[in-house]
Every structure is written in structure tokens, then in C-alpha cells.
Structure 1
Amino acid sequence: MAGADDPTVQQLRSLLTLAEELHFGRAAARLYLTQPALSLQIRALERRLGVQLFARTSRRVEVTPVGRALLPLVRNVVGATDELRDAALSSSTGGDGLRLRLGLTDCATALASTRRVIAALTTLHLGLEIDFRVVDLVEQATGLTTGQIDAAFVYLPVPEDFHAQPLTTEARVVCLSSTDPLAQRSSVCLADLSDLPMVGLTPEVSRAGRDFWAVDPRPDGTPVRYTEHKVSRVESLLSAVSFDGARAFLPAVAAELYPRPDIRYLPVADLVPCTFAVAWPSAGRDAPQIALLEEVCRNLCDEGLPAGKP
């Protein structure tokens, strides 16, 4: 009977990979883990089995005699698990290949966490075909609702009928025109930003999303003023900031992704951070391709994903 102290398949897969590489750095890279995370996996497996699997020195890693004796059994367990998963996927798709349609904004394509998730999916699940679709702030939600995409990389919040798996958290910054009176400051607070309007997002973006990204209302209860723009892309938002003297909040990584001489990005001392996530319709959570995506995201999050660019 399975128990709470049984080894996990991920731990067993880590054992096999490290036994092949005999190097924590190379093995961690193959598993899309950090070296400390891989070390934790191996130590946890050794505790659960009650044996030492590897002999470690500052210069080399060796499989112990006990570890070598267990390797054939471990390969059988991992192989059987892979066969079970593949058989279940084949049955659920009628024998056809499994396809995952992923929506990404221009910003999301450059993020390290996005690339780690996709790399892990394509490496660990060779039978999964991924179809990438570039979407804007509106299309990422409507595409999920209409079934044109299965999941999307998004910044929270998302509508209530979506499920979201958080990936990373990062600060938000304010975008200012280089001619803005505050542009020469090193940082600001929300109270400094009440004199000029925020760039208006299209009404097709959810009200929760529009309120979050404008911080509306402000902590003191003051409602936010907006421009007449109906923006659905970051590039359009930045143009509105540059030419019309408005302001906007974006994830801190925007300063790396969209450097422009006419735009300044400043930290906001009292602005809560934002969360980057993968989202899909709650009703579709049991779909096999979504189950694979959720498993990969959860495992990577347990080990820690980097925010920002690679």
C-alpha cells in the first residue's frame, strides 16, 4: 500500500539523471531544476529509502554500491509510470497526438519562467505538440473563453471562471514620459502620482484587471482619472505615456523589455507587486494537456522559478 513516505516519481527520475551525469549542474539542467533543488530531491529520496545513494566530494559524485543495485528497479518504476501516462493520454485522445494551444503576449515570450515551463513541457512530454499563438491583453481572455487557446501566460488577476497557476512575483513600476516632472526622481510613491491621468485600457479587459493595473481606487479612496485611450497592447500604452503625458503601471521587467529614450521607469515604494501565471478555463482543467501543463508548472514552482528575462 502506498504511503506518505513512498518515493515520488520526480525523486526517482532525479536519481536516474544524476546517476547518468554524475554532476549536479548537468543533471539539474536536464531536469530544469536548480542545483540546490536537485540536492534536496536526492536527500529527501535517501531519507525515504533509508540508504545513501551517492557519495559526494567537492570534486566528484559517485553512485554507491547500494545505489547501483537499486538503479534497475528505479528504471522499471519510472518506465512503467511513463508507459501508464502515455497510455492514458493515448486513450483520452483516441490515439491522436496531444496538442496544447498556448497564448502568449509579446512580453510573456521573453520571460525566463515562460521559457522554463515550455522547455520542461517539450523535454518531459515528447508526445505533446505545442501551438503558440501571440495574443494581446484582450485576446488572452477571449481566446480562452471561446476555446481558441487552451491556456495562456498572463499577469493576474484573471476572471473568476479561470484557474490560474502562479509562477513568479515581481515588483511593478510606473512608466513616465522623459519630460514628466517626476522623471528625474529615483523613486516615487502613489501619492506623487495623483496629478496626471492613467492610460485607459480597453473596456474588454476585465474590470478587476483594469482596477489592479491602475490601482483604482488609491489607498486613500481617491478614484483614478483615465485618458480616453482604449489600449490592449504594451506598445500602445507606452506611446500614450510618451505623447500624451499620461502614466501607467507595468511589471518591473518592462524596463528591460521596452527600453525607450522617451520613457522612464521608476520604482513605486508603496505599490504591491504583481504575479505572473498560467491560466486556463476552470471547466477544462481535466483535459490531459492541461493536466500535463499544471503538473510541470507546479513542479517548477516548488523548485523556484526566476522572474524577469533569462
Structure 2
Amino acid sequence: MTRNGAPRDAPVRHLRAFLVLAEELHFGRTAARLFITQPALSQQIRTLERDLGVRLLDRSTRRVELTRSGRELLPAVREAVRAADRLREEAGARSGAGSLVIGSFENIALMEPVPAVIDTFRAALPEVGVRMRRAAFDTATVLLEGEVDVAFLFLPVPDGIQYLTLAEGARCAAISAADPLARREIISLADLRDRPHLGWSPRVPRVYREHWSADPRPDGGPVRYTDHGVVDYAGSLLAIAMGEGIQLPPAAARRLYPRAGVSYLDVKDLTPWSMGLAWLPAKRDQPQVKALREAARRVVAEREGPGGPDTGGVVRPFRAG
């Protein structure tokens, strides 16, 4: 606040931090998404509250919630950040520095090697403005619709998208903690034959839906789906806890999405997940996209050697669905 009690202008980075925190309601996850330390995030939020003259958050050792003022100011903050982004994009276009809009599947930006790739890119092109756009199971659709320049996402992707594989790992089953299976340490897909999988939104590409539902199952049997139409994993957790359906996410969900009422079980015959950096062929050689691809290749090579996974040349005609 100024001496006369009027709100002081707040830096855009503080407004952006508040928006991410309003999504996550968790300081640790928010700090990781913003690639800053948790103390630095706390300081930014305290400074923002002081500048605006209102308390935005109720904090406790157990949870974070928006205050009434925080909820009411959220649309204005969101519009202010959008306006700042538009201004930076216009300025970048005139200066020649440019900008890069990166789609990020939910919390995938917290998983290695994504932070290392972004750090490498920023070190190479510090003058380029980077904006992260969080998406969900429809990240490939968001990329195809041109809302982002590139995207970090889980594979597979529909035809017409190029990608570089960055990492892979084990998956698990997310089920209700009240399910009798939750008492077991490891299960098979056959054990899940009577549990429906949460139904997907039509915006989620078919190739993605089938892979992440393990449909068909190893015995050739089809998967039964609910009518939920989920588009994001975080939003599906309540339905899982209520025993309405299951999901088969990366095992990292244990760490990134711990929820009361949800149990994560190892599945011995579940195919692994793969993570990739994806782009459209038309944008492949744009300077910022090319630089991010090169940063990703460098990080992959450092971690896995010259024989690391790379399907960046694979392009197939796009078919809807």
C-alpha cells in the first residue's frame, strides 16, 4: 500500500504466482511449477498481499485456501496477467526476441527431465519470453488447435504430431482406498476386470484414451467405462475415492497427487508410460521451437547417451478421433 492507502502496483510475476497457487492450493507444488524455491514463493505472495492491501490466502500447516477477497480478485488478476502476456508478445515480435508458449500436461513440469530442459533453453535464449499453459488429458488437442507452440505431455499422441521421447517409467492403478484390492501390494490387470475405468472427455484423443485405459486388456477383453467424461486427472480423484471408477496413471502420481481415499497399487502387467516434447510439423523449424528441441536433445543425450530415444522425425497424416 502507498502512504495514502491506495494499492501499490503489483509485479506481474507476483500476480502469476498467485494464479498458479490458486490452482494448486499447495506452496510446494506451486513453487515447483514456477521453478522457484518455496520461501521465494511465500515472499512473493506476502508482497502481493501488502501491495494490494488485502489478504488473499488463509494458510495453515495442513492446507491453503483462498479468502473471499482472493476469490473475488481472481478474475481481475487473471485478466491482468493475460494483458501483460499480450504486451510481452507484441513487444517480442517487434524486438525480434519472440516468445514461446509451452503446454504442460498438469504437473508433468515437475517431473524430470522437464525442469532441466526448460533451464537449458532459458540459458541458451534468456531474451525469449516463456509462458507455461497448463493443460490436461487433452494436451495433444490443445497443441493441434494451435493454442501452444510445443507441449510436454504423456504419449501416445494422435497422427500429425512430431515428438521427442524424454523419459519413461512404471504406471500404477489408482483405486478407492475402500476397495478390497487396496489391501494388496501388487495386482494384475485381470484383478481389475470388474472395475470400470473413468470415462474420458471427447477432447481426449482416442489413441491416448485406449493406451491409458489398457484397452483392450491382455486377454482381449474390452474395458467398461463410466459416463464421467473426465478431462483432467486432478478432477478425477474424488470419483476414484468414491469408488466410481479407476485410473491407470504414472507411478509418480503417488508423489504428485496424494489424496485421502485414493490408493495407488503396483500393476505387474501394465505397460509403462512415456513422456515427450511434442510439436506440429509446421512449427518445427521456428527459432524458439527449434531451440527447445535442441535443449531437450541435449538433456536426453547427457542422461542416456547418444542412443537415447528419439522419434522426432516420425510424422503421420492427422486423423480426427
Task: Write the mapping of 1:123-272 to structure 2, written as runs, cut at 5 A.
Answer: 123-138=123-138, 140-272=139-271
Verify the 8 A CA contact 1:176 1:245 in the aligned structure 2.
no
1:101 aligned residue: 101
3-state secondary structure, aligned to 2:186: coil
Secondary structure, counterpart of 1:277 in structure 2: strand
Aligned to 2:58: none
2:151–2:278 contact (8 Å) kept in structure 1: yes
* Gap regions ≥5 residues in structure 2: 1-92, 305-321
Distance between the aligned counterparts of 2:110 and 2:207, measured in 1? Answer: 25
Deviation (angstroms), 1:147: 1.9
For 2:50, the equivalent position in structure 1 comes to none
1:151-171: CA deviations, max 9, x gaps?
111000111111111111010
1:243-282: per-residue Cα shift (whole Å, max 9, x none)?
Answer: 1331110011000011122011011001110101111112
Alpha-carbon deviation of 1:104? 1.2
Residues 180 and 245 in structure 1, CA contact (< 8 A), matched pair in contact too: no
Alignment partner, residue 11 of structure 1: none
Amino acid aligned to 1:119 = D
Aligned residue for 1:122, secondary structure, equals: helix
TM-score normalised to the size of structure 2? 0.63
Query: How far apart, CA to CA, are the structure 1 residues paired with 2:174 and 2:112?
Result: 22
Whole-angstrom distance in 2 between the partners of 1:169 and 1:279: 15
- Distance in 2 of aligned mates of 1:228 and 1:246: 10
C-alpha distance in 2 between matches for 1:290 and 1:211: 29
Runs of 4+ aligned structure 1 residues displaced above 6 Å come to none
Q: Normalising by structure 1, what TM-score? A: 0.66
Contact 2:105 2:137 (8 Å CA) reproduced? yes
Pairwise CA distance, 1:144: 1.6
One-letter amino acid of the structure 1 residue matched with residue 137 of structure 2: L
Residue 38 of structure 2 corresponds to: none
Match of 1:164, SS state, is strand
Encode CA deviations 1:97-120: one digit per residue, 9 max, x unaligned: 121110113311322322111111
Identity of aligned residues (%): 36
The AA in structure 1 aligned to 2:105 is T
AA partner of residue 264 (structure 2) = Y
Q: Which amino acid aligns with 1:304?
A: R
Q: For 2:208 and 2:219, how far apart are their aligned partners in 1?
A: 20
SS in structure 2 of the partner of residue 271 of structure 1: coil
Please tell me whether Structure 1 or Structure 2 has the larger radius of gyration of its CA atoms: 1
Deviation at residue 95 of structure 1 after TM alignment: 5.2
- Name the count of aligned residue pairs: 212
For 1:258 and 1:156, locate their aligned partners in 2 and report how far apart those are by CA, in whole Å. Answer: 20
CA shift, 1:94, in A, is 7.5
| Structure 1 residue identity aligned to 2:189 | L
CA positional deviation for 1:217: 0.4
2: CA distance between counterparts of 1:192 and 1:233? 25
* Residue 287 of structure 1, CA deviation: 1.1
SS at match of 2:255: helix
Name which of structure 1's ranges 151-160 and 236-245 shifts more when overlaid on structure 2.
236-245
The reply on whether 1:303 has 2:302 as its aligned counterpart is yes
CA gap of 1:142–1:270, structure 2 versus 1, over 3 A, is closer
Q: Where in structure 1 are there 5+ consecutive unaligned residues?
A: 1-92, 306-310
